[in-house]
């Protein structure tokens, strides 16, 4: 049986997490990522926008844990495929998974799982470990994104098109998520 993530144990200390609670948490997690997706900037030379999505993905995965975090991101993708305006800038539809951003979107699921799994292993105990968890989750998103983007751009332009311009924003999102994670954990614990 999967263990309940530490943040959820603090939130629900005397009651086990039921299927109904889990479903609510998955939907809430998907909505957090959808809201973060609306923070976006389309660079004139880029195929992929800069968004707040990865911040939401990392935080949702870390707070919900590997299983529920991955399910939240699967729900997010399903919402977008079902034409709900949850992707960057209110975009929707399955064509976004088939386009240049598809690999990044698909990478959200394993990244949320990884961030959650690392937190379950105690990587949320210090800002340095939390930062490392967020870096690894972000690296997984970039790996999936670049692998897919390679179908749209020549190899010599791949890093310029899909990685380099996004590194400063990724560093900011990683830092914010890593700093917020222990704070959210503390906030949740003080409510016990």
Residue 79 in this model has a pLDDT that exceeds 90 = yes
pLDDT value, residue 105: 97
Number of domains in the chain: 1
Q: Is residue 32 one of the residues assigned to a domain?
A: yes
pTM (2 d.p.): 0.86
Confidence of residue 1 (pLDDT cuts 50, 70, 90): very low
Q: Is residue 37 one of the residues assigned to a domain?
A: yes
pLDDT (mean) for 139-158: 97
Q: Is residue 192 one of the residues assigned to a domain?
A: no
For residues 15 and 108, the model is more confident at 108
153: helix, coil or strand? coil
168: helix, coil or strand? helix
Least confident of 69-73, 144-148, 185-189: 185-189
Euclidean distance between CA atoms 104 and 109, whole angstroms: 10
16: helix, coil or strand? coil
Q: Is residue 1 one of the residues assigned to a domain?
A: no
Query: For residue 125, what is the domain's CATH number?
Result: 1.10.1760.20
pLDDT (mean) for 43-50: 78
Residue 78 in this model has a pLDDT that exceeds 70 = yes
Q: Is residue 167 one of the residues assigned to a domain?
A: yes
Q: Which domain holds residue 177?
A: 6-187
pLDDT value, residue 10: 52
Q: Is residue 96 one of the residues assigned to a domain?
A: yes
Residue 190 in this model has a pLDDT that exceeds 70 = no
Residue 15 in this model has a pLDDT that exceeds 60 = no
94 φ, ψ (degrees, to nearest 5): -65, -20
Euclidean distance between CA atoms 114 and 105, whole angstroms: 15
């Amino acid at each position: 049986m999967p263990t309940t993530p530490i943040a959820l144990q603090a939130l629900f200390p005397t009651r086990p997490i039921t299927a109904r609670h889990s479903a609510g948490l998955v939907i809430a997690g998907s909505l957090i990522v959808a809201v973060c997706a609306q923070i976006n900037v389309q660079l004139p030379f880029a195929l992929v926008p800069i968004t707040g999505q990865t911040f939401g993905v990392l935080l949702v995965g870390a707070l919900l844990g590997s299983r529920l975090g991955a399910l939240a991101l699967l729900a997010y993708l399903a919402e977008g495929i079902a034409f709900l305006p949850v992707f960057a800038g209110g975009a929707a539809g399955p064509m976004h998974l088939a386009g240049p951003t598809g690999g990044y979107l698909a990478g959200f699921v394993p990244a949320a799982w990884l961030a959650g799994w690392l937190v379950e292993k105690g990587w949320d105990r210090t800002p340095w470990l939390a930062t490392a968890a967020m870096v690894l989750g972000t690296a997984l998103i970039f790996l999936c994104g670049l692998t897919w983007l390679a179908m749209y751009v020549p190899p010599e332009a791949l890093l310029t098109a899909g990685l380099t311009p996004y590194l400063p924003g990724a560093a900011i999102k990683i830092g914010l998520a890593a700093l917020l994670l222990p704070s959210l954990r503390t906030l949740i614990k003080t409510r016990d």
